[in-house]
Amino acid sequence: MGIIGGGPAGLMLSHLLARRGIDSVVVDDRTYTEIEQTVRAGILEADSVRMLVDTGVSDRVLREGDQHAGIELGFDGQLARIDFAGLVGSSVWLYPQTDVFVDLAAARSRDGGDVRFGVSDTIVDDLDAELPVLRFADADGARHEIRCRLLVGADGSRSMCRHRIPEDRRQQSFREYPFAWFGILCEASKSAPELVYSHSERGFALISQRTEAMQRMYFQCDPDTDVDAWSDDRIWAELQARVNVNGLELIEGPITSRTVLRFRSFVCEPMRYGRLLLAGDAAHTVPPTGAKGLNLALADVRVLAESISQFLASGLDRHLDDYSRRALQRVWKAQHFSYWMTSMLHLPVERSSFDLRRQQAELRSVVESRAASAYLAECYTGWPR
Ligand code: DHB
């Protein structure tokens, strides 16, 4: 098995396949340090946590992660809690994606997995042949050509693998958004015990956390925002203005990282062409509101490991189609949820009092209706397998 991409999706797949006795080689053109140092999202669904623990990757998430039994929604001068535990008997964990990556890479290394970071000239070919080929050059320049039973593109949103599928054999659905998130890391203690999703007249803000001493926050901005034009003081003033209306005051501290995250919804269907399968961001992207990206990638590879093992045992292509069909059902539910959370919480660019008041009423409808709150809780904590 050849797996292109050594992020959480590729590494988890390799780990799950190894547990089924299936060998794989994982290649990534980024170095270990590059991946480890990229700031990514931080929320794991309960099933994602179970997958890490129950398949023997690591139980560090249980010791160092923070279990969150709800979130706060801030709007129209108030904070309202969505009680995941009470509504749907579930919860999520705050545990950064980079830690998931570190745990998975350590588990692969511990179990003797073949994972190569820092490769170059990666190419996949003969995708509709019986044995497709993976070519790459190692970090030391040695060239390799490996014939594999299957190839898996887990190579992120700019996926080289996806682009190798003929255009007339993939349907791509897109949505662009006219806003982005300004994301920061700061040295401060926690401003709130759980995540706060705050709707305001100045636009959306999200108060998240990392550790006791380091926090992660975001606010809605123009996609062309120049982060260098924003001083610490200006960032804090903007964040405070967006949460104060809802009765929250943030604990401030030095800002150590600032980036603009663009929003996109994207799906490539089917998630299979010949002997190539796509997983995670290579096949789909969601806007970050709702924190579904990493969870979807892990859900993909859980189904994929099963389908690959059935395919190898039977030689029947239908198991590969089954993977795409099953994975896409969850992908589209997550697309809808991420789109809904995004459109409910972010102010349109041409903001009118109608938009503002309608969104406030939508949020009020959600928090005052047990059914609507339970729906949000169900989606946020993750759908059953
Ligand atoms: C984080 C990111 C998200 O997109 C989200 O919805 C919640 C939390 C985070 O980085 O902590």
> 183 CB under 6 A from ligand 1?
no
Based on the fold, state whether residues 156 and 104 are members of the same structural domain.
Answer: yes
Is position 339 annotated as part of the catalytic site?
Answer: no
Q: Which of 199, 292, 323, 346 is catalytic?
A: 292
Is position 197 annotated as part of the catalytic site?
Answer: yes
> 195 CB under 6 A from ligand 1?
yes
Asked if pLDDT for residue 322 goes beyond 90, the answer is yes
| ipTM higher than the 0.90 cut | yes
The total number of structural domains in the chain stands at 2
pLDDT of residue 39: 84
- Whether residue 132 is contained in a domain is answered as yes
Is position 292 annotated as part of the catalytic site?
Answer: yes
Based on the fold, state whether residues 255 and 233 are members of the same structural domain.
Answer: yes
Based on the fold, state whether residues 255 and 114 are members of the same structural domain.
Answer: no
Reported as a single tens digit per residue, the pLDDT across 88-142 is 999 999 999 999 999 999 999 999 999 999 999 999 999 999 999 999 999 999 9
Q: Which residue's alpha carbon is at the smallest distance from atom 11 of ligand 1? A: 42
Q: Which of 197, 218, 273, 323 is catalytic?
A: 197
pLDDT of residue 241: 97
Q: Which domain holds residue 190?
A: 177-263+345-381
Asked if pLDDT for residue 181 goes beyond 90, the answer is yes
Closest atom of ligand 1 to 41 CA is: 10
Among residues 165, 173, 128, which one has the least CA distance to residue 150? 128
Based on the fold, state whether residues 315 and 241 are members of the same structural domain.
Answer: no
What's the gap in Å between 26 CA and the centre of ligand 1? 27
Based on the fold, state whether residues 181 and 250 are members of the same structural domain.
Answer: yes
Write the CB contacts of 186 (distance below 8 Å, at least 6 apart in sequence).
214, 215, 217, 252, 253, 254, 255, 256
Based on the fold, state whether residues 123 and 26 are members of the same structural domain.
Answer: yes
pTM value? 0.97
Q: Which of 43, 219, 339, 379 to mutate to test the pocket of ligand 1 (most atoms within 8 A of CB)?
A: 43
Reported as a single tens digit per residue, the pLDDT across 250-297 is 999 999 999 999 999 999 999 999 999 999 999 999 999 999 999 999
Asked if pLDDT for residue 246 goes beyond 90, the answer is no
User: CATH number, domain at 198?
Assistant: 3.30.9.10
Reported as a single tens digit per residue, the pLDDT across 19-64 is 999 999 999 999 999 999 998 888 999 999 999 999 999 999 999 9
